[in-house]
Amino acid sequence: MKIVVLDGYTENPGDLSWEGLEKLGELTVYDRTAYREDPLIAERIGDAEIIVINKTPISKATMDLCPSLKLIAVLATGYNVVDYQYAREKGILVANVPTYGTMSVSQYSIALLLELCHHIGHHSQTVFDGKWQNNIDWCYWDHPLIELDGKTMGIIGFGRIGQAEGRIAKAMGMRVLAYDLYPSDAGREIGEYVDLETLFRESDVITLHCNLTPENTGMINRDSIAKMKDGVLLINNARGQLIVEQDVADALNSGKLGGCAVDVVYTEPIRPDNPLLKARNCIITPHISWAPKESRQRIMDCTVDNIRAFLDQKPIHIVNG
């Protein structure tokens, strides 16, 4: 079968191999195609039966122009770039990678938190800029430094990633509160399940690890921030749409939020008018929690398995029934 990778660069900028896919069919790889609706998408799919995508959108119109299409393999857990319900009507299966970045994403969330607590990058840069060698004291710090031992971390979304972060937080001496729609015994061994009101009220640090749904879109907003402790730290490397960015920026600038670190924003790439860009004590990184080589290799391996299973007529990780 013909296999077309439409936007492979972020998954494999050259440090991995497409060999696993090459063994399964006639493979064509494009680094990038389009991140918005574009006739080029259908043109490049052509008569391929299988396509592999990351963020290239696959719409009803595109599927109608590609009658040979049988499988859409997504190089990610999220699949909202695909009109998967219409794909089901067309008999096109959509497969995702259900888990690959548990440790890398939880590790990155902790890294964002530690950066907020110590401003390591900033202080390192001041040394290279000459501030230490010209300082009258033997040390200095430009921001308050925060010790996490004894503080409370509230984790919204306590699945695999949230629980992994909870274990790290406990190892640092933190109390862990958790909110999740589906509490589990494994979660209870790590933290205490509470309602959102309690989590907002008692947490010194709030981190987000929930899926994006219509119900939780914009859940961190003016009203929910008002229920939080003064000076709370907010971490988001889940989905940018979980927070109302203007409300978070306002809370940072007023001092209600003590700091915010995000790896995701509402619109990506970030727009120059994003209010977080001008907010106080805000760290923004370019959606790279998922990107360690080890994590991307797991994505590649699972995608190969998804396509092989489809070819064997035993499809796995199908998200559209």
**Active-site residue, 22 included:** no
> Which residue has 């770039």 as its token pair?
81
**Active-site residue, 298 included:** no
Distance CA 261, CA 113 (A): 7
Secondary structure letter of residue 234 according to DSSP: E
Residue of 88, 160, 280, 287 marked active site: 287
Structure tokens at 47: 């008569």
Distance CA 320, CA 96 (A): 10
Distance CA 259, CA 261 (A): 7
Report how many helices (DSSP H) and strands (DSSP E) the chain contains, helices first. 12, 12
Distance CA 134, CA 197 (A): 48
Residue of 26, 37, 147, 268 marked active site: 268
Structure tokens at 215: 């119900």
> Which residue has 């009507």 as its token pair?
89
Residue of 44, 209, 239, 296 marked active site: 239
Dihedral sign of CA atoms 32, 38, 22, 318 in order:
positive
Backbone phi, then psi, for 28, in 5-degree steps?
Answer: -125, 130
Instruction: Answer yes or no: are the C-beta atoms of 225 and 256 closer than 8 Å.
Output: yes
Distance CA 282, CA 197 (A): 24
Partners of 34 in beta bridges:
none
**Active-site residue, 268 included:** yes
Structure tokens at 306: 């998804």
Structure tokens at 109: 């969330």
Backbone phi, then psi, for 291, in 5-degree steps?
Answer: -95, 0
Structure tokens at 54: 């990351």
Known catalytic residues are 239, 268, 287
